[in-house]
Amino acid sequence: MNAKKWVLSLPVIVLILAALLAGFNYVTDPFGAFGDRFMQWFSYDETNNPRAAKISYLEQHHDEYDSYFLGCSSTSSLPTESFNEMLNAKFYNLIMYGADMKDCEKIANYLIDNYTVKNLVLNVYLDNGLTYDDESNKLTHSLHYKTDPDMSALSYYSRFLLADPRYGYQKLVNKKKDTLMPQSFDVFDEQTGAYDKRVRDVEPIGSTADYLNAYPVFTNYPTSRCTCTRPKPACSRWLQSARFARKTALISLC
């Protein structure tokens, strides 16, 4: 092949490779960005990106719920069954990693505008209440574009269609390892949205050293007093709104 033909064929090769990459990522859908049409493994998708995958799940199952928990990881401790019985409701837990208040605002807007919202429970942990607009990773912490008016559909779909194919490949590998019990790659109960704690709740804690060795994240927890330098929690920026005051049934500060 001479130089001219190579130059002319190069864009075609690039387009073919891009199409193959996009097709692979669409089919495997490791973040649940496209509704996981082929594998329907939302517990895995939500583990990678609960913000996007849970909205994709609700698009297919929103008629099964009328109430929602919204907030950071500690939100998973709110017992869905007890709240359902107490409030005669059908709760879905929209727990997400590092829930900053702008994300909560946008998701709450989406829920209220598109679904029946009988109860909306916002769980605010101290550091999350002081955080606003903090997207630390465009794949794992990205909102679904339908919940984010600041994001175009093109920007949303392109980041997931052209993502590193190793994410999709790893999903295929982990699918072969999947069991009835939760593992590190599928930690959510897709029907409730909460963490699936069937394994963790029965594991022996052992000594403090054993536990910290198993969960090293707890070795880095701050031990000194934290001083807040911001004059106003970020959560107040949207809780002042009349529409949220009317729709939010409970604010849990923990």
Question: Largest Cα–Cα distance of the chain, in whole Å?
Answer: 75
Q: Is the pLDDT of residue 253 over 60?
A: no
Q: What is the pLDDT of residues 91-119, one digit of tens each?
A: 999 999 888 888 999 999 999 999 999 99
- Which of 33-37, 131-135, 178-182, 198-202 is the least confident region? 131-135
Give strand pairing partners of 195. Answer: 188
| pLDDT, greater one: 37 or 208 | 37
Residues in the chain, total? 254
pLDDT at 10: 82
For helices 165-177 and 3-28, angle between their N-to-C axes, nearest 10 degrees: 40
Read off the tokens for 106: 């946008």
CA gyration radius, the chain? 21
What is the 3 state secondary structure string of 120-134? Answer: EEEEECHHHHCCCCC
pLDDT at 236: 52
Q: What is the mean pLDDT of residues 191-219?
A: 83
pLDDT at 152: 95
Q: How confident is the model at residue 77 (pLDDT cuts 50, 70, 90)?
A: confident
Q: What is the pLDDT of residues 126-167, one digit of tens each?
A: 766 666 667 678 999 999 999 999 999 999 999 999 999 999
CA–CA dist 132, 105 (Å, integer): 10
What does the mean pLDDT of the chain come to? Answer: 85
pLDDT at 240: 52
pLDDT at 100: 84
Model pTM score: 0.81
